[in-house]
Amino acid sequence: MTHTEPRSRSESVKAIFRVVGGNFLEMYDFMVYGYYASAIARTYFPSHNAYASLLLTLLTFAAGFVMRPIGAIVLGAYIDHHGRRKGLIVTLALMAVGTLLVAAVPGYATIGILAPLLVLGGRLLQGFSAGVELGGVSVYLSEIATPGHRGFYCSWQSASQQVAVMFAALLGLLLQRWMPAQAMNDWGWRIPFIIGCLIVPFVFLIRRSLQETEAFLARKHRLAAGEIYRSMITNWRIVLLGMAMVLMTTVSFYLITAYTPTFGKEVLKLSSSDVFVVTLCIGLSNLIWLPLMGALSDRIGRWPLLLACTVLALLTAYPVLHWLVADPGFSRLLGVELWLSFIYASYNGALVVALTEIMPADVRTAGFSLAYSLATTLGGSSLAISQWLIHLTGNNAAPGLWLSFAALCGLIATVLVYRDPQRRMLHRL
What does the pLDDT look like over 66-96, one tens digit per residue? 888 888 888 877 777 766 677 777 877 888 8
Q: What are the DSSP E strand ranges found in 97-172?
A: none
Rounded-to-integer distance, Cα 92 and Cα 130, Å: 9
Neighbours of 270 (CB within 10 A): 19
- Tell me, rounded to whole angstroms, the distance of Cα 154 from its chain centroid: 14
Amino acid occupying residue 122: G
At a CB cut-off of 8 Å and minimum separation 6, what does 203 contact? Answer: 21, 22, 24, 25, 92
Q: What is the pTM of this model?
A: 0.79
Rounded-to-integer distance, Cα 152 and Cα 343, Å: 17
HSE toward the beta carbon, residue 169, CA cutoff 13 A = 25
Rounded-to-integer distance, Cα 126 and Cα 332, Å: 34
Listing DSSP states for 76-117 in one string gives HHHHHHH-HHHHHHHHHHHHHHHHHHHHHPPPHHHHTTHHHH
Domain edges within the chain: 9-202+227-428
At a CB cut-off of 8 Å and minimum separation 6, what does 334 contact? Answer: 277, 278, 281
Find the largest Cα–Cα distance for the chain: 62
Confidence of residue 405 (pLDDT cuts 50, 70, 90): very high
Confidence of residue 3 (pLDDT cuts 50, 70, 90): very low
What does the pLDDT look like over 222-278, one tens digit per residue? 656 676 677 777 878 998 999 999 999 999 998 998 788 788 888 899 988 888 889
Amino acid occupying residue 199: I
What does the pLDDT look like over 111-133, one tens digit per residue? 888 888 888 888 888 888 877 77
HSE toward the beta carbon, residue 306, CA cutoff 13 A = 31
Rounded-to-integer distance, Cα 352 and Cα 138, Å: 7
What's residue 166's pLDDT? 84
Asked whether the predicted pLDDT for residue 218 surpasses 80, the reply is: no
CATH for 9-202+227-428?
A: 1.20.1250.20
